Amino acid sequence: MNILITVGIFPPDIGGPASFVPKIANHLINMDNKVKIICLADEENLLLEDDLDVLRIKRSTYLPIRWFKTISLIIKYGRKSDILFVNGLGVEAAIANLYLRKKIVRKIVGDPVWERFYNKKSTSETFDDFQNQKHNLNVRIQKLTRNWSISSSEVVITPSDHLKEFINRTNPKTEVLKINNGVEISEFKRSKTPLHEFNILINSRLVVQKNIHFVIEAMGSIKNLDVNLKIIGEGGEFERLEDLITNLNIQNKVKMIGKVENNLISEYLKTSNLFIQASDYEGLPHSILEAINYEVPILSTEVGGCKDLLDNGDRGFIISSPQNKQQIAEKIDYIYENYDIALTKAVAAKKYIQNKYNFSTQAKIYSEVFEKIMKK
């Protein structure tokens, strides 16, 4: 089977799709499929040892030209493909498919319209409120365009029940499947030796919806002096977060690491004692699955698929309100002082994902979906 994958971010970018697409592409190739990837990148002629057939389009290209180039390339390589597997560039793929008439499988991990307006601070509405409220013409057009592009799909795949319900509301005639995100299960076992320092990790795109500024502010209220926070990632909030750290005078506690290559993230996870995710909305973050894979205790909001992972706090610790900085500080202090409990929850979470979130199993499910669609 020839599969063309489109995606907005791809290594060396960081983020869920950038983590997922190389893995699923390699698994599909190992199942005797041919895979080509079209993505956006900061540099077009970027050479990486990814052993994948990747065509990169420069992200900073003047938008109308970038759209024309993207659509043209999808048409060019889509002609030879049996399926378009759309992980990003959804509108461009839908436009190209007006000509191609291929079968589209679309993976949706959020609402790009809400993210766009929320991260630009053009709305403070939650994910659900944004869908239900009336907005100006610009927002309505973008929502209609989003829904039209989704409707061109043979099937839509989401990693959480909440997202499945969202697609069922916006596109009731489109078939929607829930397939969990997955992780390559590691053999790593965390040591239970006494703590000499307590390393907290955030691995995320640095955008408003991630609420990282609230975690930084909470660090100023931590009782235990051995606690420190490392923040991996890049994005529009980087300078603002750096300024916040300086203004709070907590440079000794909080470090901005910047972008780290995906294959090096595991080294940070191995030396971390807590992983925090304080986002207002997520589908099912790959970063949390990767942290659980290395038996790092989790402190997270119950958004999207995180609710299932945390299991009411049996497999992690819950942030009920990311805006409540005092609650975050108290949770961190509690985990530090009761680390044996935290490790027990982390081990339970690892056992849970070994069965339900094993990437090899998920890849087989994707392959079965593609084969089923080809037979229609």
Check residue 104 and give its pLDDT. Answer: 96
pLDDT digit string (tens) for 250-266? 999 999 999 888 788 99
Average pLDDT over residues 308-320: 89
Check residue 194 and give its pLDDT. Answer: 55
Per the listing, tokens 């593609």 go with: 370
SS (H, E, C) the chain: CEEEEEECCCCCCCCHHHHHHHHHHHHHHHCCCEEEEEEEECCCCCCCCCCCCEEEEECCCCHHHHHHHHHHHHHHHHCCCCEEEECCCHHHHHHHHHHHCCEEEEECCCCHHHHHHHHCCCCCCCHHHHHHCCCCHHHHHHHHHHHHHHHCCCEEEECCHHHHHHHHHHCCCCCEEECCCCECCCCCCCCCCCCCCEEEEEECCCCHHHCHHHHHHHHCCCCCCCEEEEEECCCCCHHHHHHHHHHCCCCCCEEEEECCCHHHHHHHHHCCCEEEECCCCCCCCHHHHHHHHCCCCEEEECCCCHHHHHHHHCCCEEECCCCCHHHHHHHHHHHHHCHHHHHHHHHHHHHHHHHHCEHHHHHHHHHHHHHHHHHC
Check residue 303 and give its pLDDT. Answer: 82
Q: Per-residue confidence at 156, pLDDT binned at 50, 70, 90? A: very high
Check residue 188 and give its pLDDT. Answer: 87
Let me know if the fold of 2-182+358-375 is the same as that of 198-356: yes
Average pLDDT over residues 345-352: 93
C-alpha to C-alpha distance for 203 and 275, rounded to whole angstroms: 8
C-alpha to C-alpha distance for 244 and 370, rounded to whole angstroms: 47
Average pLDDT over residues 75-94: 96
Instruction: Compute CA 326 distance to the chain's CA centroid, rounded to the nearest angstrom.
Output: 27
Check residue 261 and give its pLDDT. Answer: 82
Q: Is the pLDDT of residue 47 over 80?
A: no
How many other C-beta atoms are found inside a 10 Å radius of the C-beta of residue 195?
A: 12
The mean-pLDDT minimum among 33-37, 73-77, 232-236 falls in 232-236
Check residue 286 and give its pLDDT. Answer: 87
Check residue 33 and give its pLDDT. Answer: 93
Average pLDDT over residues 6-10: 95
Q: Is the pLDDT of residue 137 over 60?
A: yes
Fold of the domain built from segment(s) 198-356: Rossmann fold (3.40.50)
Check residue 282 and give its pLDDT. Answer: 84
Q: What is the pTM of this model?
A: 0.87
Check residue 46 and give its pLDDT. Answer: 60
What mean pLDDT is reported for the chain?
A: 91
Check residue 322 and give its pLDDT. Answer: 85
Check residue 45 and give its pLDDT. Answer: 62
Average pLDDT over residues 284-313: 89
Q: What CATH number labels 2-182+358-375?
A: 3.40.50.2000
The domain segmentation of the chain, as residue ranges, is: 2-182+358-375, 198-356
